[in-house]
Structure 1
Amino acid sequence: MDMAYETLLVEIEAGVMSITLNRPDRLNAFTAVMLAELTLALDAAEKEEAVRAILITGAGRGFCAGQDLGDRKVIDEDIDLGASLEERYNPLVKRLRALPKPVVCAVNGVAAGAGANFALCCDIVLAAEGASFIQAFAKIGLIPDCGGTWLLPRLVGHARAMGLALTADKLEARRAADWGLIWQVVPDAELMREATSLARHLATQPTRALGLTKQALQASSTHSIDSQLAIERDLQREAGRTEDYREGVAAFREKRVPAFKGR
């Protein structure tokens, strides 16, 4: 990558942009700089044709401890945390969810507060056995943000979402997988190998179709069956006009592995 980052490690290999949160001394806690750089990196991932999948993880022993409270004033009675969400977190969540390429998240340690919900905003989440998820907001008198109040009920149901949010209890990776919060748990030593393998596989697939699939699934939570059928119709029309669709059909007929180009 030509762009230099202060709080991230970013590299492209085998069609995958790897983004590593790189503040290990602070458990990769978010700062204004890191949030801005994440948005820039995701913008670059979308624009770069060579990138067909994104892999996000954390450096050191943690994934992300959430907002770095030392990065902003927290005592001022006039503080407006809503403005912080509107300016930094909300655009990042929207950017991540709208990205028309698959995003794999490898949670290598604790994911707390906004760090937990940032991970859950990704498309496929793998976690090391020693990882955990904590909706830590209640511990400091706040509500779940970074999309948490939208994500949690849809992923684990109302009762579990409420319990996680109100108690701020730690949820171990194995139980997170059992509850359907994440895709898969793997041994700690195998996390990056498994996550990288998955991201590289996705980078060989029909990228445009994967992006349309993301769009359709995300729309489904607020649509009736009739509305969703109309979305499927419209998006399938787009998918059917791609080069990858023609390649997929040709490969099927010729009994060979398709060579998708992401177009």
Structure 2
Amino acid sequence: MVLYALRWQLLKISRGCGAWGRLLQRQSSRFVYSNIHGFDQVEIREKLQAFPGGSIDLLKQDSGIAVLTINNPSRMNAFSGSMMVDLEEKVTQLENWTDGKGLIVQGAAQTFCSGSDLNAVRAISNPQDGMKMCMFMQNSLTRLLRLMASDSVIQFVHKHMGLVPGWGGAARLVHIVRSQNALKLLGGALKVDPKLGLQIGLADGVLEAEDSAGTPLEQAENWLSRYIKGPAPVIRAVKKVVLSGRELPLSEALRTEKDVFGTVWGGPANLEALASKSKHK
């Protein structure tokens, strides 16, 4: 997935950054949390919907790239409870989009997202409901690739709120930047500019200034398009085996890779490639 980070004024208080473009296919059958952990999806949806405001807008394009917009600019695109429910529904739509190959997530009005709406956070302040909210979002989000705009800054400000990441952010941050850097980012709330982001692996690329190379969204689409050329089933299979290797125990990841291989072996794209002898071109 691709992230491009926008205005630093927002990102210095954000839990994330920019717009996330992602290769599709969340492994919905392997939720991190389930009813075994006391996670009742219907119950938490009802609680979240009590806090309306904003929307999550989805545009699916013929290119196979969809654009998902976090739209709540009056609250700096903070997630209201109803927006969390919207996000889960939009992810489900994307899972069922057979022609989908990539997704870019952006914020409205040239900002990304300032985290959760504090009105909802205050109302769901007991540990049990807070954990359920994190579980809900964990089951909605998967992150892979990140882009930063040239004037952007990423900062993890959880400790200033008396918190730690709760959507799987800490565990994934350790995988991305290693434990030493994760400690610095979370414990020091360091501001990460594009240069440092590239250095520690938090950013996969940096977009150019808007005037010289198009809007951030246009640049993100161009950047993402180079990694999703080809049939949608193959691109989705690539994402699935990589995600399995990152998220699952080795034995389960190997089984998943074998299963996914079976879905493309002898498939239309494989047979066409064999017929055209394209392997060494």
Which band: TM-score by shorter chain?
0.7 to 0.9
Alignment pair present for 1:92 and 2:137: yes
Q: What is the 5 A alignment of 1:40-119?
A: 40-73=89-122, 79-86=125-132, 88-97=133-142
Q: Which letter maps to 1:249?
A: L
Structure 1-normalised TM-score?
0.73
For residues 149-188 of structure 1, the C-alpha deviation after alignment (integer angstroms, 9 at most, x for no partner) is: 1111100011100111111222123311221112111124
- C-alpha RMSD of matched pairs (Å): 2.8
Give the direction of change, closer, same or farther, for the CA distance of 1:31–1:248 in structure 2 (3 Å limit): farther
Kept in 1, the 8 Å contact 2:54–2:72? The answer is no
Partner of 2:153: 132
Cα distance between partner residues in 1 of 2:224 and 2:173: 24
Alignment CA distance shift 1:237-1:136 (3 Å): same
- Residues 13 and 234 (structure 1), Cα distance of their counterparts in 2 relative to 1, 3 Å cut: closer
| Amino acid paired to 1:90 | M
Say if 2:266 is the partner of 1:245.
no
Q: Counterpart of 1:24?
A: 73
1:17-53 Cα distance to aligned partner (Å, 9 max, x none): 2111112232211111111111111111222334332
The counterpart of 2:170, out of the listed 131, 149, 157, is: 149
Give the C-alpha shift of residue 138 in structure 1. 0.2
More strand per residue: 1 or 2?
Answer: 1
Return the offset for 1:126. Answer: 1.5
Please tell me whether the aligned partners of residues 136 and 168 of structure 1 are also in contact (alpha carbons under 8 angstroms): yes
Q: 1:30 touches 1:66 (CA, 8 Å); kept in 2?
A: yes
CA 1:255/1:84 → structure 2, altered by over 3 Å: closer, same or farther? same
After TM superposition, give the deviation of residue 245 of structure 1 in Å: 2.1
Deviates more, 1:191-200 or 1:157-166: 191-200
Q: How many residue pairs get matched? A: 223
In 1, the alpha carbon distance for the partners of 2:252 and 2:99 equals: 34
CA distance 1:82–1:155, change in 2 (3 Å): farther
Alignment identity in percent? 19
- Give the partner amino acid of 1:148: G
- RCO greater where, 1 or 2, for CA within 8 Å and sep 6 or more? 2
- 1-structure distance, mates of 2:229, 2:70: 25
Structure 1 residues 42 and 186: alpha-carbon distance in aligned structure 2, compared to 1, 3 A threshold: same
8 Å Cα contact 2:99/2:232 also seen in 1: no
Unaligned segments of structure 1, at least 5 residues: 98-120, 257-263
Structure 1 contact 20–57 (Cα < 8 Å) conserved: yes
Structure 2 stretches lacking a partner, 5+ long: 1-52
* Corresponding position: 1:210 with 2:260: no
Tell me by how many angstroms 1:253 deviates: 4.3
Does the CA-based 8 Å contact 1:27-1:61 persist in structure 2? no
Check the 8 A contact 1:51/1:203 in 2, yes or no: no
| Letter paired with 1:84 | G
Say if 1:249 and 1:64 are closer, same or farther in 2 by CA, change over 3 A.
Answer: farther
Letter in 2 for 1:94: N
Rounded to whole Å, the distance in 2 between the matches of 1:33 and 1:158 is 34
Corresponding residue number in structure 1 for 2:185: 164
Change (3 A) 1:11 1:162: same
TM-score (norm 2): 0.69
Measured at CA, do residues 254 and 212 of structure 1 come closer, stay the same or move farther in structure 2, by a change above 3 Å?
Answer: closer
